[in-house]
Amino acid sequence: MKKLRLVLGDQLNHEHSWFDEKNPDILYVMAEMRQETDYVKHHIQKVVAFFQSMRNFSEYLKENGHEVRYCKISDKDNPNELTALLSNLISKEKIECFEYQLPDEYRLDVQLKDFCESLKIDFKAFDSEHFYTSRTELSEFFEGKKMLLMENFYRMMRKKHHVLMQGSQPEGNLWNFDKDNRLKYKGQVPIPVAIGFQQNINEILSEIEKANVATFGKIDSKNFNWPTSRKACLAQLTYFCENLLKHFGDFEDAMHTDEKFLFHSRLSFAMNSKMLSPKEVVDTVVDFYYENTEEISISQVEGFVRQILGWREYVRGIYWKEMPNYAQMNALENHHKLPDFYWTGKTKMNCMQKAITQSLEEAYAHHIQRLMIIGNFSLLMQMHPDEVDAWYLGVYIDAIEWVEMPNTRGMSQYADGGILATKPYVSSGSYINKMSNYCGSCHYNVKDKLGEKACPFNSLYWHFLDEKKDYFANSQRMAMMMSLLKKMKPAELAATKEKAISLMENRENL
């Protein structure tokens, strides 16, 4: 029976059981499509990284004896739409059975289900064999519970998968070393030079340009530094273990004007494209820790494991539990548009200038920049979550909706009304000053609420709390913030609100 098997651009799983058998009657199809480049405007590095990784993966399959039909963005007969591509191949190649791996995006899941229903041949969906959990495991775990606490899910995952456990007890006798992960970076330890991945991306770049794919952000073809093959991804993992892991937890929440990556792993693209599995990343890191306990403390490793075994699986579960409604949520009824500087980085706010410019130059910002700088500012400015979502989905190398949306709409913008986060992640300038060196060289003064040069985060913070006080009236987690708001003198609050409103109105000029 002649089979057609679809491999999507984020399904580059070299270890998938599909590839155990070599069979000339199985045709694999992979395609660079306008459908995928155009559903949101992407960063140019993201498009290049996906296409380059897909091309490398198709070469790998061919070298290993599999039949592959690869459709480039520049191919004249590329229909650029998934169902047209599949229908053409099914009739041209006289395919008798169509098979695909479950996509991680709701949009593609619906498209493929609808397509299969229209088919007159057999079809079958397979697991992508990537995640620790199934789509529904989180929903089943939290069944009947009001609060979907990540910490509870994470502990279950640690026990179930025997990660960092000593019998039934957590390694180091604590489940969570979060409180140890809050050092400010002041150059205490040097940051090793990033590993380089030399690769020629000129051909892909010119094909993307010729196809008139609309993108944004910067790319330097001589310094394109994302791993786009399994070998390179494994090298990045080894590099992380040997060079960065020993300080990962300590500086997890730190931000610094001169250091874009600090001790972060930059493994998200490798995992989200599935070139690395989360299990092999966690196992490698944990094994490395056990071999080097004199040099590496448990708090560094636990901090890292929590992100992957905990947060990454957790947000995926929330996505499948809540979609498609999640994509429409706007619990705080925010409606403002993003200012232009989200696409230029041209703002006098040093923290925003650094975090946005870095995002545009590298297609990367680390977690705390995404959450407590750009996300914080977007929420304090009461931006529409659709706008914020689209920007995050476009700009980051690792942005795929299943992981981007719960993080942005949920954790960062509280648009889901607290399904994911127990309180909104908002702060005034003082938190940013505590965790970074941004404020020292800023046009604005972090200590001031009022006045020409007052840090915008300050008045916006109190205005946000005041605007949303009815919504959070019964929230225990917000009680302290709200009691401080209540203690503010009416005249001071009125002046602060007036300042915040004028900042919102003049947001293009901040």
To the nearest 10 degrees (0 to 180), the angle between helices 106-117 and 82-92 is 40
Instruction: For residue 13, state whether it binds ligand FAD (rule: CB under 6 A).
Output: no
Site string (228-267) toward ligand FAD, x via CB under 6 A? ------------------------------------xxxx
Residues in the chain: 510
Alpha-carbon span 163 to 171, nearest angstrom: 9
Q: How far is the CB of 436 from ligand SF4 (least distance, A)?
A: 8
Q: How far is the CB of 271 from ligand FAD (least distance, A)?
A: 5
Sign of CA dihedral 61, 62, 66, 67: positive
Residue 442 site contact among ligand SF4, ligand FAD, none (CB < 5 to 8 Å, cut-off depends on kind): ligand SF4
Q: In what order do the strands lie in the sheet with 67-71?
A: 67-71, 26-31, 3-6, 97-101, 122-126
Q: What Cα–Cα distance (Å) separates residue 404 from each residue in 16, 74, 93, 411, 442?
A: 24, 29, 37, 10, 29
Out of 408, 437, 459, 496, name the contact with ligand FAD by CB under 6 A: 408
Q: How far is the CB of 42 from ligand FAD (least distance, A)?
A: 12
Considering beta carbons, is residue 170 or 375 the nearer one to ligand FAD? 375
Whose tokens are 């901040």? That residue is 510
Considering beta carbons, is residue 8 or 351 the nearer one to ligand SF4? 351
**Binding piece for ligand FAD, criterion CB under 6 A, among 78-86, 111-119, 304-312, 324-332:** 304-312
Residue 315 site contact among ligand FAD, ligand SF4, none (CB < 5 to 8 Å, cut-off depends on kind): ligand FAD
Phi, psi of 123 (to 5 degrees): -150, 160
Residue 444 site contact among ligand FAD, ligand SF4, none (CB < 5 to 8 Å, cut-off depends on kind): ligand SF4
Residue 497 near residue 382, CB atoms below 8 Å: no
Residue 275 near residue 224, CB atoms below 8 Å: no
Alpha-carbon span 369 to 30, nearest angstrom: 34
Instruction: For residue 312, state whether it binds ligand FAD (rule: CB under 6 A).
Output: yes
Instruction: For residue 12, state whether it binds ligand FAD (rule: CB under 6 A).
Output: no
- Longest C-alpha distance within the chain, in Å? 79
**Binding piece for ligand FAD, criterion CB under 6 A, among 144-152, 191-199, 403-411, 459-467:** 403-411
CB burial of residue 486 (10 Å; 0-12, 13-18, 19+): exposed
Could you list the residues that contact ligand SF4 (CB under 6 A)? Answer: 349-351, 429, 432-433, 438-439, 442, 444, 446, 455-457
Instruction: For residue 299, state whether it binds ligand FAD (rule: CB under 6 A).
Output: no
Residue 230 site contact among ligand SF4, ligand FAD, none (CB < 5 to 8 Å, cut-off depends on kind): none
Alpha-carbon span 68 to 76, nearest angstrom: 18
Q: Are strands 3-6 and 97-101 parallel, antiparallel or unpaired?
A: parallel
Instruction: For residue 419, state whether it binds ligand FAD (rule: CB under 6 A).
Output: no
Out of 71, 82, 208, 271, name the contact with ligand FAD by CB under 6 A: 271
DSSP three-state, residue 260: coil
Measuring CA to CA, which residue among 381, 425, 383, 431 is closest to residue 407?
425
Residue 264 site contact among ligand FAD, ligand SF4, none (CB < 5 to 8 Å, cut-off depends on kind): ligand FAD
Residue 299 site contact among ligand FAD, ligand SF4, none (CB < 5 to 8 Å, cut-off depends on kind): none
Residue 351 site contact among ligand FAD, ligand SF4, none (CB < 5 to 8 Å, cut-off depends on kind): ligand SF4
Out of 105, 253, 398, 416, name the contact with ligand FAD by CB under 6 A: 398
DSSP three-state, residue 219: coil
Instruction: For residue 99, state whether it binds ligand FAD (rule: CB under 6 A).
Output: no
Name the residues that contact ligand FAD, by CB under 6 A: 264-268, 271-272, 307-308, 311-312, 315, 366-367, 370-371, 375, 392, 396, 398-399, 403-404, 407-408, 411-412
